[in-house]
Amino acid sequence: MRRTSPVCQVDPGGMWAVTRYEDVLFVMKNPGLFSSEGFKVAWQPPWVGYNPFANSMLAMDPPAHTRLRGLIHRAFGAATVARIEPRLRAVALELTNRLVEEADFVEAFGHPLPAFAIGEILGLDHALHAKFKRWADDIVSITPELPSPEDAERVRTTLAELTGYLMEVIAKRRRAPVDDTVSDLVRAELDGQRLTDAEIVEFLVTLLIGGLETTTHLLSNSLLFLADHPDMMERLHAEPGLISLFVEEMLRYDGPVQTLPRIATADVVLSGVTVPRGALVLPIMASANRDEARFKDPDRFDLHRGSQGGLHFGHGVHFCIGAALARMEARVALEAVIARFERVERVPGEVRYNRTLTVRGPIALPLRFSPARRTGEQVR
């Protein structure tokens, strides 16, 4: 597509896919021409009804987006990342006990770790971690196309269940505030006015989905890569200081976020093609991050490539506010797994992927984990 049809209409529904790095960057840098209202079109089709995720700041443009974004800096800021890292490291070490011999990495480690992190930040009940995953999976499965009646009903039920739970949490924090993000949002004011319960729910759903689904996929993509490239596993085991570089290149090479839907606010020419006003536009970051015009030998995994210019966290006013948290979680997780195991291998069983418009990663990843030999241990 980059070579022959860099801007073209695709199914479902005739959306306009944008695949070249320069064009994707242009879309990201110009919210006046490419409105984030595209998120609402993609995530709240008629069959869904109300979806708090589709009405969040992700679907807003400046200046409304700018004001709301400032409210969650504390949730994902450097101080929060530093505060939870020691606890997250302890949880990661504990979770490696679930990986001895054969295990589904997503179920045993890839989901529980970010679920713990987001639960800590938001102050949500850790006993609901399993529900976090189901809620997130159902919400990100939404597309403009009408699914089966059973799938549609499941998604609508999930939205009602999640919204109801969060409304209960908000009511409790209004009665008795504590030191967590929900209480901060309850107390927060914008232009002298407090946030409504609906606005807080939309915030929390965004943080829950953004902090859970993408990190789970990043970890799972990383482990699948290590299973298929044992030389890289061996290298990181010998030099754990390279793990941060590995995370950066993995974000470019096989990052979880694929697209960020936008709506064209005017006729716009991209690569000689006129995208009409009102069109749903899909800038494909995964393609931009493999664009040979921007990255030399882009299909080669290069630890020392550096991530400068990569679009895996978006760009401009919608640059991912959780980028520092995601990097820290991935680094802590891989340090724990690589220190404990010297080899990861695929085992019989299907690697099942999700089916969504915007993110990609395994939802079932059966692997075999071979423990590392202790120092001085003899090979038998």
Distance CA 278, CA 265 (A): 6
- Going by C-alpha positions, the residue among 49, 47, 69 that lies closest to residue 58 is 69
Would you call the peptide bond into 348 cis, given omega within 30 degrees of 0 as the criterion?
A: no
Q: Phi first, then psi: what are they for 352, rounded to 5°?
A: -90, 135
**Is the model more confident about 60 or about 249?**
249
Is-contact 223 344, C-beta < 8 A?
yes
* DSSP alpha helix (H) spans, the chain: 21-29, 37-43, 64-71, 73-76, 78-95, 105, 112-122, 129-140, 149-175, 181-187, 197-228, 230-238, 243-254, 285-288, 323-340
**pLDDT exceeds cutoff 50 at 100:** yes
Q: Long-range pairs for 53-59 at CB < 8 Å and ≥24 separation?
A: 53/139, 53/202, 53/205, 53/206, 53/209, 55/198, 55/202, 56/202, 56/203, 56/205, 56/206, 57/202, 57/203, 57/206, 58/206, 58/318
* Token output for 249: 């290149």
Report the pLDDT averaged over residues 297-304: 94
Burial label, 86 (beta-carbon count in 10 A; 0-12, 13-18, 19+): exposed
Distance CA 303, CA 232 (A): 10
**pLDDT exceeds cutoff 90 at 275:** yes
- Going by C-alpha positions, the residue among 322, 332, 373 that lies closest to residue 118 is 322
Least reliable range by pLDDT among 51-55, 68-72, 304-308, 339-343: 68-72
Please name the helix (run of DSSP H) or strand (run of DSSP E) that holds residue 280, with its range, or none.
strand 280-283
| pLDDT for the residue 350 | 85
Least reliable range by pLDDT among 94-108, 249-263, 366-380: 366-380
Q: Which of the four pLDDT bands, split at 50, 70 and 90, describes residue 318?
A: low
- How far is C-alpha 248 from the geometric centre of its chain's CA atoms? 15
Distance CA 261, CA 61 (A): 13
Collapse the DSSP code of 253 into the 3-class scheme (helix H, G, I; strand E, B; otherwise coil) and give the result: helix
**pLDDT exceeds cutoff 70 at 158:** yes
22-70: pLDDT as tens digits: 999 999 889 889 987 776 777 788 888 888 877 776 666 666 666 666 6
187-209: pLDDT as tens digits: 876 667 677 888 888 888 888 87
What pTM does this model have? Answer: 0.85
- Going by C-alpha positions, the residue among 305, 332, 294 that lies closest to residue 250 is 305
Domains of the chain: 7-371 (1.10.630.10)
Parallel, antiparallel or unpaired: strands 262-264 and 280-283:
antiparallel
| pLDDT for the residue 53 | 78
Average pLDDT over the chain reads 86
Parallel, antiparallel or unpaired: strands 101-104 and 262-264:
unpaired
- Going by C-alpha positions, the residue among 178, 218, 169 that lies closest to residue 320 is 218
Residue 107 has what DSSP assignment? I
